[in-house]
């Protein structure tokens, strides 16, 4: 079989990649192991968007968020849990993702299918062998392959070097990296969607020998200390716990970060030996079911139980666990902590002129070893980051052609994975990967040789933010001008990360703009204008001068 773009993995990134590629008229195929598209958003049940609030979330992610808000009756109706502005039922997220995919005539999806082999000629990927739902195998020739799996499974089969676990300081030169590399990989979590029943919920039973003491101090309801320094986390009440990831329709996303259902994942086995995954998944399921039982018994809330109307699975749990950290490709550019923390003298990180996606989440790592007793626990102090960009070069491998990385397999350090792994960022990365793949096919060039201006223009047309301003939505009349000028270095650098489009331009500000970037424009026309109108004027002058 022949296809232009082959997307391996129909998760958050892969679905967005497939939609964008197909919208550009390129024949695209998504290979997905589960019956649902959406990965961590749907199949893993992490149905509370983390970050990319307000105007920072555009593109296909923004479309999905709008559909969800419209379905539930407005943004205020999805603000049900304090962890996120957008909380929803996984099955509703799945409904809209499948709806977006179905609308694209150039896009096909093969569910319950998986990757067996990757074919290369010299250093160029030419296709893959796919195991189909019926057990047969089919070779697919493609022009570009996109890595969008949960574990980064395309990388080893394609012979592409990658990182896994924490990076050594001597490797990444990050101030907060450990001295030595290790296998402290972020925990995976088998989530559960709970439902509040009118009376007692169906009880969850676990092995009578299960040690429920591991859950002590997950909330203040069952605790033996109030010393949060000793615990290494805040001690929440029941009300704080049950409102954390509250979903519409009296449901709850069980993805609690403190002594709950995070499954320790400090071995490479689950990555390097796929045959062992079912064993670990089973143990992770046992852990989350035990916590549900703990809620019903020790915490005294038998009214909460597994929602039986979410996942069409025998145990009512998600299809897959939430995988926070993947194999991370060694790419043309490695994003490290300096790329996401404020630069000297600025509120913002250094500018990525080849930026293709944005995020605003903090550096958030999940390690069960954080909560071991003092002296034995993992000590990981991470810096405060700021809204950031993703470099296009971090999607491109160092040597292999015909390949683009997406999902959580892009070229970032373990530290940066803490803010680049979230659902909105991953969808925007996927959309950029899809646009890059489509342009590569159309222009008959390798992804590494794409004209970055052309790619960024395609993403702006699709409503994607390439530089993060929390108050400039993609519907704003000056959106393109503000985004393009930011990529050229003309940035409004304020502590609240807003652009403030109605702010009146002073002569001092206009002169500072001209002096700070290597662009020639007449400042006299700008003084007294609203900031957005001034950027439109500058953008117009620059475009005219090029002509």
Output the 3-class SS for 472-507. CCCCCCCHHHHHHHHHCCCCCCCCCCCCCCCCECCH
* pLDDT higher than 50, residue 439: yes
234: number of Cβ within 10 Å: 9
Sign for the CA dihedral angle at 246, 9, 434, 487 comes to positive
Cα→Cα distances 1→142, 218, 378, 380, Å: 9, 52, 49, 48
DSSP assignment, residue 309? Answer: T
Q: What is the pLDDT of residues 253-281, one digit of tens each?
A: 999 999 999 998 767 889 999 999 999 99
| Neighbour-count burial for 494-503, b at 16+ CB within 10 Å, e otherwise | eeebebebeb
* pLDDT above 60 for 140: yes
For 351, 457, 475, 508, the CA distances from 387, given in Å and listed in that order, are 11, 21, 20, 26
Residues 182/378, Cβ–Cβ less than 8 Å:
no
Non-local (6+) Cβ contacts of 253 within 8 A are 45, 46, 47, 48, 81, 87, 191, 192, 193, 194, 245, 247
pLDDT digits (tens, 9 = 90+) for 299-320: 999 999 999 999 999 999 999 9
Q: How far is the C-alpha of 424 from the C-alpha of 408, rounded, in Å?
A: 12
Confidence check: pLDDT of 369 > 60: yes
Q: What is the pLDDT of residues 472-519, one digit of tens each?
A: 999 999 999 999 999 999 999 999 999 999 999 999 999 999 887 777
Closest CA relative to residue 328, chosen from 107, 143, 171: 171
- In angstroms, the CA 398 to CA 411 distance is 10
Beta-carbon contacts of 192 under 8 Å, excluding residues fewer than 6 positions away, are 45, 253, 254, 261, 288, 289, 292, 306, 316, 317, 318
CB 342 within 8 A of CB 224: no
**pLDDT digit string, tens, across residues 190-224:** 999 999 999 999 999 999 899 999 999 999 999 99
pLDDT on residue 266: 65
State the pLDDT at residue 479.
98
Q: Using H for helix, E for strand and C for coil, what is the string for 499-519? A: CCCCCECCHHHHHHHHHHCCC
């Amino acid at each position: 079989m022949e296809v232009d773009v082959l997307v391996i993995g129909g998760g958050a990134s892969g679905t967005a990649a497939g939609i964008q590629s197909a919208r550009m008229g390129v024949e695209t195929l998504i290979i997905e192991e589960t019956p649902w598209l959406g990965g961590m958003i749907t199949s893993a049940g992490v149905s509370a968007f983390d970050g990319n609030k307000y105007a920072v979330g555009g593109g296909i992610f923004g479309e999905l968020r709008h559909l969800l808000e419209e379905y539930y009756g407005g943004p205020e109706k999805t603000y049900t849990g304090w962890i996120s502005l957008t909380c929803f039922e996984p099955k509703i997220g799945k409904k809209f993702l499948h709806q977006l995919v179905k609308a694209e005539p150039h896009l096909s999806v093969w569910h319950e299918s998986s990757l067996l082999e990757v074919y290369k000629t010299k250093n160029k990927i030419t296709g893959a062998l796919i195991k189909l739902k019926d057990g047969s195998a089919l070779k697919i020739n493609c022009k570009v392959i996109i890595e969008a799996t949960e574990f980064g499974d395309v990388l080893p089969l394609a012979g592409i070097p990658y990182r896994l676990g924490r990076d050594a300081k001597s490797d990444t030169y990050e101030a907060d990296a450990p001295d030595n590399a290790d296998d402290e990989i972020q925990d995976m979590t088998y989530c559960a969607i709970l439902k509040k029943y009118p009376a007692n919920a169906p009880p969850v039973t676990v092995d009578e020998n299960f040690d429920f003491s591991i859950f002590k101090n997950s909330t203040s309801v069952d605790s033996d200390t109030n010393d949060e320094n000793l615990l290494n986390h805040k001690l929440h009440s029941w009300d704080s716990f049950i409102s954390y990831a509250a979903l519409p329709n009296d449901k709850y996303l069980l993805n609690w970060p403190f002594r709950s259902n995070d499954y320790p994942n400090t071995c490479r086995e689950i990555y390097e030996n796929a045959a062992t995954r079912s064993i670990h998944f089973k143990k992770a399921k046992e852990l989350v079911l035990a916590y549900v039982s703990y809620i019903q018994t020790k915490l005294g809330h038998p009214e909460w139980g597994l929602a039986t109307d979410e996942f069409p699975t025998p145990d009512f749990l998600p299809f897959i666990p939430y995988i926070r950290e993947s194999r991370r490709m060694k790419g043309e550019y490695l994003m490290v902590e300096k790329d996401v923390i404020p630069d000297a003298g600025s509120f913002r990180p250094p500018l990525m002129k080849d930026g293709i996606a944005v995020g605003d989440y903090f550096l958030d790592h999940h390690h069960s070893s954080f909560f071991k007793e003092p002296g034995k626990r993992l000590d990981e102090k991470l810096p405060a980051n700021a809204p950031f960009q993703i470099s296009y070069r971090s999607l491109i491998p160092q040597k292999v052609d015909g390949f683009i990385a997406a999902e959580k397999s892009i070229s970032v350090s373990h530290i940066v994975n803490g803010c680049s792994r979230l659902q909105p960022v991953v969808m925007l990365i996927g959309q950029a990967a899809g646009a890059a793949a489509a342009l590569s096919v159309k222009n008959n060039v390798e992804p590494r040789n794409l004209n970055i201006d052309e790619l960024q223009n395609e993403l702006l047309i699709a409503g994607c933010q390439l530089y993060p301003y929390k108050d400039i939505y993609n519907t704003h009349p000056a959106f393109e001008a503000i985004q393009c000028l930011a990529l050229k270095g003309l940035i409004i650098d304020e502590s609240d990360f807003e652009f403030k489009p109605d702010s009146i331009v002073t002569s001092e500000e206009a002169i500072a703009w001209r002096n700070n970037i290597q662009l020639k424009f007449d400042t006299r026309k700008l003084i007294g204008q609203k900031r957005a109108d001034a950027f439109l004027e500058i953008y117009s002058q620059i475009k005219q001068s090029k002509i």
